[in-house]
């Protein structure tokens, strides 16, 4: 066993003295990640474009808020540089900020009708849902920007400090849709798959320098992101989840906590799904 491995084991269980930035920390999964890391002693910077969400979570956990948009690379650089200027380091970055495609009630109804027809074997009567042909350039670019560019900007900004520091952990929040894409949201699925490739490429580049980068693929998790969904569609999804229920943000926070800390010392470019059996 190498000497530094012994040190890692000794430090396992605490994040005391660690400085963490969580994007999208003002809601849902990001909030539970921020809370979980703070419980183990990390100083958490709660990043979000939503000022009140970030402020509330930061004050609850004794951290600090950083109000910025992850699609603004200069703003991302400035926040990371400011964190390092104030605290002397950045140990963990959770690239979590994300958006979902807006609900489309008409398409949902077509999907329901198609499912009924499929059950009866009436395949020639299906109606095209046209999710791809009706997707605008703006919607495509917005989805790519928030997820792929945002994750890239954050990774680049953090690595400028982590590589010279010779330590750090970056956790990118992808999705089961990046592993097992579904019809209806090609931009979301493509963005989440791109995050996985970005994770693996960057992880291989910096692994020799003490920086670890991994991805988490949540299944269907009960957060405000799912709130606009049609209740019947959500019920249908729950029926398909082998565990029979949505995940809780706290359940994902345990995976993120593991990857953030020294307990995951041999995880590099690895992809962790927590899906209730969906994947
Ligand atoms: N909830 C799920 O079922 C689920 C499943 C798989 C993956 N995810 C992913 O998990 C992440 C968090 O999702 P959630 O369910 O907690 O959603 P959420 O809507 O509850 O929270 C997302 C947060 O990100 C912030 N945000 C959005 N765009 C931003 C931007 N450009 N810059 C900065 N902040 C921004 C929002 O203000 C919000 O606070 C997302 O990347 C999402 O794609 C969620």
Tell how far the Cα of 267 is from the centroid of ligand 1, in angstroms. 24
Alpha-helical (H) ranges within 47-94 are 51-61, 73-87
Q: Is residue 119 part of a domain?
A: no
Q: Is residue 75 part of a domain?
A: yes
Q: Is residue 163 part of a domain?
A: yes
Q: Is 269 in the pocket of ligand 1 (CB under 6 A)?
A: no
**pLDDT band for position 11 (50/70/90)?**
low
Mean of per-residue pLDDT scores for the chain: 95
Q: Is 218 in the pocket of ligand 1 (CB under 6 A)?
A: yes
**pLDDT band for position 13 (50/70/90)?**
confident
Burial (Cβ within 10 Å: 0-12, 13-18, ≥19) of residue 252: buried
pTM higher than 0.75: yes
Query: Whole-angstrom Cα distance, residue 120 to residue 126?
Result: 11
The pLDDT of residue 279:
87
Q: Is residue 51's pLDDT more than 50?
A: yes
What average pLDDT does range 218-241 have in this prediction?
Answer: 96
Mutational pocket test of ligand 1: of 55, 69, 199, 225, the residue with most ligand atoms within 8 Å of the beta carbon:
225
Token representation of residue 220: 């269907």
The pLDDT of residue 100:
97
- Give the structural domain span for 171: 3-106+142-230+247-273
Percent of the chain residues past pLDDT 90, beyond the cut: 95
pLDDT in tens, 111-144: 999 999 999 999 999 999 999 999 999 999 999 9
Q: Is residue 2's pLDDT more than 60?
A: no
Which atom of ligand 1 has the smallest separation from the CA of 222? Answer: 1
Which atom of ligand 1 has the smallest separation from the CA of 221? Answer: 3
Mutational pocket test of ligand 1: of 23, 26, 29, 248, the residue with most ligand atoms within 8 Å of the beta carbon:
29
Mutational pocket test of ligand 1: of 97, 150, 177, the residue with most ligand atoms within 8 Å of the beta carbon:
97
Q: Is residue 3's pLDDT more than 80?
A: no
Distances from the Cα of 123 to the Cαs of 109, 127, 153, 183, in angstroms? Answer: 17, 9, 45, 17
The pLDDT of residue 148:
99
Q: Is residue 4's pLDDT more than 50?
A: no
pLDDT in tens, 175-198: 999 999 999 999 999 999 999 999
Q: Is residue 134 part of a domain?
A: no
The 3-state secondary structure of 177-236, one letter per residue? HHHCCCCCCHHHHHHHHHHHHHHHHHHHHHHHHCEEEEEEEECCECCHHHCCCCHHHHHH
Q: Is residue 117 part of a domain?
A: no
Tell how far the Cα of 106 is from the centroid of ligand 1, in angstroms. 24
Token representation of residue 254: 């345990």
**For position 254, which CATH number holds?**
3.40.50.720
Q: Is 221 in the pocket of ligand 1 (CB under 6 A)?
A: yes
What average pLDDT does range 251-276 have in this prediction?
Answer: 98
Q: Is residue 6's pLDDT more than 50?
A: no
Nearest to 23 by CA among 158, 138, 139: 158
DSSP state of 23: T
The pLDDT of residue 1:
36
Total residues found in the chain within this entry: 279
Query: Whole-angstrom Cα distance, residue 212 to residue 256?
Result: 13
Q: Is residue 49 part of a domain?
A: yes
Q: Which residues are catalytic?
A: 188
The pLDDT of residue 246:
98
Q: Is residue 122 part of a domain?
A: no
Query: Whole-angstrom Cα distance, residue 161 to residue 86?
Result: 13
Which atom of ligand 1 has the smallest separation from the CA of 53? Answer: 39
What average pLDDT does range 53-82 have in this prediction?
Answer: 98
Q: Is residue 279 part of a domain?
A: no
Tell how far the Cα of 243 is from the centroid of ligand 1, in angstroms. 23
What average pLDDT does range 144-159 have in this prediction?
Answer: 99
Measure the CA dihedral 205/203/212/196, to 10°. 170
Q: Is 96 in the pocket of ligand 1 (CB under 6 A)?
A: yes
Q: Is 216 in the pocket of ligand 1 (CB under 6 A)?
A: no
* Number of structural domains found in the chain: 1
Q: Of 44-53, 61-70, 224-233, where does mean pLDDT reach its minimum?
A: 224-233
Q: Is 272 in the pocket of ligand 1 (CB under 6 A)?
A: no
pLDDT in tens, 71-115: 999 999 999 999 999 999 999 999 999 999 999 999 999 999 999
């Amino acid at each position: 066993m190498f000497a530094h491995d012994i040190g890692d084991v000794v430090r396992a269980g605490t994040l005391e003295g660690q400085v963490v930035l969580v994007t999208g920390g003002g809601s849902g999964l990001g909030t539970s990640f921020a809370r979980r890391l703070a419980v183990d002693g990390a100083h958490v910077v709660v990043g979000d474009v939503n000022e009140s969400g970030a402020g509330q979570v930061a004050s609850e956990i004794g951290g600090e808020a950083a109000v910025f948009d992850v699609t603004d690379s200069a703003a991302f650089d400035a926040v990371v540089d400011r964190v390092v200027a104030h605290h002397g380091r950045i140990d963990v970055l959770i690239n979590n900020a994300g958006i979902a495609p807006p609900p489309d009630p008409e398409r949902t109804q077509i999907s329901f009708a198609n499912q009924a027809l499929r059950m009866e074997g009436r395949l020639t009567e299906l109606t095209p849902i046209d999710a791809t042909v009706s997707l605008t350039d703006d919607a495509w670019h917005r989805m790519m920007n928030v997820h792929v560019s945002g994750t890239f900007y954050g990774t680049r900004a953090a690595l400028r400090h982590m590589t010279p520091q010779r330590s750090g952990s970056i956790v990118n929040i992808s999705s089961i849709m990046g592993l097992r894409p579904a019809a209806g949201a090609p931009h979301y699925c493509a963005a989440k798959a791109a995050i996985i490739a970005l994770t693996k490429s960057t992880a291989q580049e910096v692994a020799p320098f003490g920086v670890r980068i991994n991805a988490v693929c949540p299944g269907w998790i009960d957060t405000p992101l799912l709130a606009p969904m049609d209740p019947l569609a959500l019920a249908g999804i729950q029926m398909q989840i082998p565990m029979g229920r949505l995940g809780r943000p706290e359940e994902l926070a345990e995976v993120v906590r593991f990857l953030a800390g020294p307990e995951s010392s041999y995880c590099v470019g690895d992809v962790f799904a927590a899906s209730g059996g969906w994947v």
